[in-house]
Every structure is written in C-alpha cells, then in structure tokens.
Amino acid sequence: MKLTVRGIPSDRVDLIRRGGPDANGQPAVTRVAEGVANPCRHCLELIPEGDEKLVLAYRPFDSLQPYAEVGPIFLHTTACERYDRDRLPRWFDYMDPAIIRGYGSDHWIRYATGDVVPGVELAAACRTILSDTTVEYVHIRSKFNCFQCRVDRS
C-alpha cells in the first residue's frame, strides 16, 4: 500500500505566521531552536539549532470533539514548502518511541489501532493500520504527544 504523508495545511501555517491564534486562542511564541529535535510540522524538516522557531498549541482537527487532542508544535518562522510525499521523512526513524493512532471518518480514534512503536517501524505500522477499512487516516505523534503528521492511503 502506498502512503501519502502531509505536513499541516499551508493556510493554517500562514495564519499563524501572520499572528493568528493557535488552538488555545493565543499567538505563537518565538523561541530559538535548541538541540536537534525541532521539527517544523509544515515542511517536516528539522529547524537548525540557533534559528528562530514558532511554538504554538495545535489541534489537527477542524472541529471540537472528545478526541480532538491539542499539543505543542514548532514551525519555521519563514516560508517553507508543505511536505506532501509518499514516504516519511528519514529523521522519523530516530523517533523512539512514536505514538501512532488511526482515526475513522468521524475523526474519532479507533482504539485497536493505537500503538507505541520505534521510529523505524512507523511506515509498516501505518500500512497495517490503514489496511483496516474503518480507518480513514493515521496521526503520528512524538513520545511527548506532540503532533508530527497525518498519513493517508494514496
């Protein structure tokens, strides 16, 4: 099965960069990236240490409902291209562990799909979850529950 991996939508990123509210109704905070674990959730590239980044609360759902989780994410402060490819970025192999969950068309978690896996197993885990026809898409999160990306069937 082919996958489609996407960063968060460009229109939401543009709004945040212009000072629009995050999931908590607040503007993003600008901070300096420290270390190597600063992934931009739009382009899915790592923000280099020492560069400025935006830090904000993100909810990867359009409407509020019991499973619409909110968590912190980072974005580049300047324009970048949205990630939209048929594979996960290579650095995902180093997520150890990662949280993975399937969601139905109602955007509710399908509990049987939830798992904690090493990063090197993420692509295979996504394919397994998406083989269930009741699952519309998968979310990948860090071990800290930070949203990373959405994965769909191609």
Q: Are 10 and 82 in contact (CB under 8 A)?
A: yes
Task: Please tell me whether residues 21 and 47 are part of one structural domain.
Answer: yes
pLDDT band with cut points at 50, 70 and 90 for residue 37: confident
**For 83-102, how does the pLDDT look when each residue is reduced to its tens digit (9 = 90+)?**
999 999 999 999 999 999 99
Structure tokens at 126: 């996504």
Residue 107 in 3-state DSSP?
A: coil
pTM reported for the whole predicted model: 0.95
Q: Which range of residues forms the domain containing residue 121?
A: 90-153
Same domain, 38 and 70: yes
Among residues 55, 83, 111, the one where a domain terminates is 83
